[in-house]
Amino acid sequence: MPNRIDRRQLLQLAATLPAALGAPALSAAQPSAAEAKAWQGIFVIMQTPFHEDLAIDEESLRKETDYLCRGGVHGVVWPAGAGESSSLSHEERIRFSPAVVKEAKGRTKVLIGVHGANKFEAMEYARFAEKIGADGLHALGPTDDFGDQKYMEDYFTAIASVSKLPMCLQVSNAGMTTDFLLRMAEKIPSVRILKLEMGNLPHEVERVLRERKRPDVYPSTGGGAMNLYTEMERGSGGTMAGAGFADIQAKIWDWYHEGKKKQSLELFERFLLSAVMERRTTFVLMKEVLRRRGIFKNVVMRRTSRFTMDASDLRELDEIMELLRPDFRV
């Protein structure tokens, strides 16, 4: 009777054929073009809408998700720091996360924020994110300046132990250095995005690309997308900014990667006015933009008792809106 080989032996034999034929073998760690593209681009930190009584406005949260999908963003994140997640209860996060996943309907990737007061709470959020069909996890470290790296390594490893969903690690304290992030990316196979927040961000982007051990780990940044064009020139994996002008950011990204660099740069230069303004006014600007664009009913911030933009800010925003309006996708 002829010898028979099982499936594992057949796969092992197939893996040796390229070398035997003089062709280079494919690396298992090398992502395909489609896989690489899937975890790069404009991943928006969603704002959290509230009613006047400070309860979460689910209708507006769904409208924001739909607006971002139609605007062509490459992913959305909820809840995270810019979405006032520190003001949200455990019950609210469990109750409203499915609304974002359901509204996206597979049109863009949804990352659910899984940061918690301790690893056990974070693990619960990670399990829940996988249960409701999220595409990935977004993990902040401790935000109380507790930057002990041994503690954080245990914390992030624990999150990854209960879910195999791709993960983004976001800098949230001084202990989350680029060295630390690179070490976590090497240790935790599910890490895909490193969101950098400290130092000279364009330089840190290049450093991650130079020193990463895996080609499927991508550097991203925040900062209101203020350095987006410079970072794209250096090979950045994207940015995670606010939702107000997310369709503009997506167009800047798409045009750049379609080879339309001149158009991309010109649009970025117009967009930059809003990024500078956001540095001064913070997240309330994004809510005001979303209100003007018909997504939010108001600009209520849960921990701010008064509207913090003055008349001059609003006039400046009028001019920025008119400058960018021709390029709105939504």
pLDDT band for position 309 (cuts 50, 70, 90): very high
DSSP states of 38-75 as a string?
A: HT-EEEEE----B-TTS-B-HHHHHHHHHHHHHTT-SE
pLDDT band for position 30 (cuts 50, 70, 90): low
Q: Are 309 and 91 in contact (CB under 8 A)?
A: no
Class of domain 40-327: alpha beta
Residue 170 pLDDT greater than 90, yes or no: yes
- In the chain, what are the domain boundaries? 40-327
Least confident range from 136-140, 143-147, 282-286: namely 143-147
Single out the residue of 213, 245, 229, 212 nearest to residue 327, CA to CA: 245
The average confidence (pLDDT) of the chain is 91
pLDDT value of residue 8: 37
Least confident range from 12-16, 233-237, 267-271: namely 12-16
pLDDT value of residue 313: 97
pLDDT band for position 6 (cuts 50, 70, 90): very low
pLDDT value of residue 147: 84
**What pLDDT digit, counting tens, does each position of 293-302 carry?**
999 999 999 9
Residue 31 pLDDT greater than 90, yes or no: no
Q: What percent of the chain has pLDDT over 90?
A: 84
Average pLDDT over residues 308-320: 96
Radius of gyration of the chain (CA): 21
Single out the residue of 178, 188, 240 nearest to residue 210, CA to CA: 178
Angle between helix 261-281 and 246-257 (nearest 10): 150
- Structure tokens belonging to residue 215: 């080609």
- Can you give the pTM of this predicted structure? 0.89
pLDDT value of residue 20: 39
Q: Please, what's the largest Cα pairwise distance for the chain?
A: 89
Average pLDDT over residues 180-186: 98
Residue 93 pLDDT greater than 90, yes or no: yes
